[in-house]
Amino acid sequence: MTTQQIQAPFPGVFYRQASPDDPVYVKEGQQVNPGDVIGLIEVMKQFVELKAEAAGTLKSFTAENESVLEAGDVIATLEVSE
C-alpha cells in the first residue's frame, strides 16, 4: 500500500459538502475512483472541485470543513489501491 497526500492546489476555503444541507462528498474510509469529487475550494468567487487522482481508500481528512487553506496544505490522505 502506498499513501498519497492530497494537497490544496491554490489557497482558499475548503468545503467537504456542496452545501450545508448536503451530505459530505466522501466519508473517511470510503473508496474513491480517479475523478471523484473530494471537496470544493472557494476563491475569487469560484468554487473549484477537488478530485481524486488515483483509486483507493480515503483514509483521513487533515483539513476541516470551511477551513482556510494555503496552497500546498494537506487536505486528505489517500491509500492508493495497487
Residues that bind another protein (CB under 8 A): 7-13, 42-46, 48, 68, 70-72
Query: What's the min distance (Å) between Cβ of 68 and another protein?
Result: 5
Q: Nearer to another protein by C-beta: 37 or 68?
A: 68
CB of 70 to another protein, least distance (A): 8
Dihedral sign (CA 7, 2, 24, 64): negative
Residues 68, 12: Cα–Cα separation, whole Å: 6
Residue closer to another protein (CB basis): 20 or 23:
20
Within 8 A by CB and 6+ apart from 5, the residues are 74, 76, 77, 78
Nearer to another protein, 1 or 44 (CB): 44
